[in-house]
Amino acid sequence: MSKLSQLLCLADLDRNQLNDILTLAVEIKRNPTQFSSALAGKSIALLFEKPSLRTRVSFDVGINKLGGHSVYLDLQNGAMGVRESVQDFGSNLACWTDAIVARVFSQKTLIELAHSSKKPVINALSDLYHPCQALADLLTLHEQFGELDKVHLAFVGDGNNVCHSLMLGAAIMGMDLTVITPPGFGPDAHVLLKAQQMAAKSGAKLILSQHLSSAAGVDAIYTDTWLSMGAKADPKQVGQLFADYQINTAAMQRLAVKHFMHCLPAHRGQEVTSEVLDSDYSLVLQQAENRMHAQNAVLVSLFS
């Protein structure tokens, strides 16, 4: 497979590269011991400006399973760019580590890190994107339904980082995606344009709607928190604006949809009810497990 140089956004990948990563992820999941020294001698910095459970643990454990070593840095004692510049942070980390996995407030910080570090940077979530999550989600959809260009997913809720990465992933892979958001909470215009351009090439249908009824008959409904980390909106107001977009059993039945997805953490009783989250509809733990396999495929392809 072709070598990856970084993963700041899924638009860094073409359809062949994305396909290769998913195929490799399936192989790593099926036969992990075959990859147990893929990262031997490699050290990877895990840099987090925001909290995390799944991303932190799946990278740490995943790197260990590939025979590599990880160094976790949280920035609770000072944000990046305060004690020293992002540029100095990146150039110093590159002296000792082979790659940087970073969860940051701003996509601009990732771009600056990538410029200054001369080592591959992987986006572990930013304000704009969550590519590692979308890779795990595409892997989950592939396991569930087979060929992605025959799948139709609906994303419901805030047009946020997770929504953006799903839009790009779907557009690259020729998968149909309906994005359903309340008025004023649609996806970023630049990301939308990029996804539309990619969809025109792959044949993916990208549909925007403000009505939950547009999810009728899709293969799976995906939702995420109504308020992302770092978002400044008033939670009470957001709760009112998003109330009609809650995924509950009545909605799943009315829309005749059999599968439910969420990147987690979930806010039970807000964007999704416990009844749906814990039901047979739910693919959320498969998605969580697949974070590690998809990320390990990215890491292996960085160093192959």
Residues that bind ligand CP (CB under 6 A): 52-55, 125, 133, 263-265
Which residues carry out catalysis? Answer: 103, 130, 133, 224, 263, 291
Q: Which residue is nearest to ligand CP (CB)?
A: 55
Q: Which does 257 bind (CB under 5 to 8 A by kind): ligand CP, ligand NVA, none?
A: none
What distance in Å separates the CA atoms of residue 154 and residue 206, rounded to the nearest whole number?
Answer: 10
Q: Which residue number has the CB closest to ligand NVA?
A: 228
- DSSP-H helix ranges across the chain: 15-30, 54-65, 86-96, 107-117, 131-145, 161-173, 189-202, 235-242, 249-255, 274-277, 284-303
Looking at the Cβ atoms of 199 and 276, the one nearer to ligand CP is 276
Chosen from ligand CP, ligand NVA, none, partner binding at 161 (C-beta under 5 to 8 Å by type) = ligand NVA
∠ Cα 235 236 241 (to 5°): 95
CA dist 240 and 27 (Å) reads: 44
> Judged by CB under 6 A, which of 161, 181, 273, 290 binds ligand NVA?
161
Q: Using the minimum distance from each CB to ligand NVA, give the nearer residue, 119 or 164.
A: 164
Contacts of 84 (CB under 8 A, 6+ apart): none
- Which of ligand NVA, ligand CP, none is residue 53 near (CB under 5 to 8 Å by kind)? ligand CP
3-state secondary structure at position 148: helix
Q: Is 263 in the site for ligand NVA (CB under 6 A)?
A: yes
Report in angstroms how near the CB of residue 53 gets to ligand CP at its nearest.
4
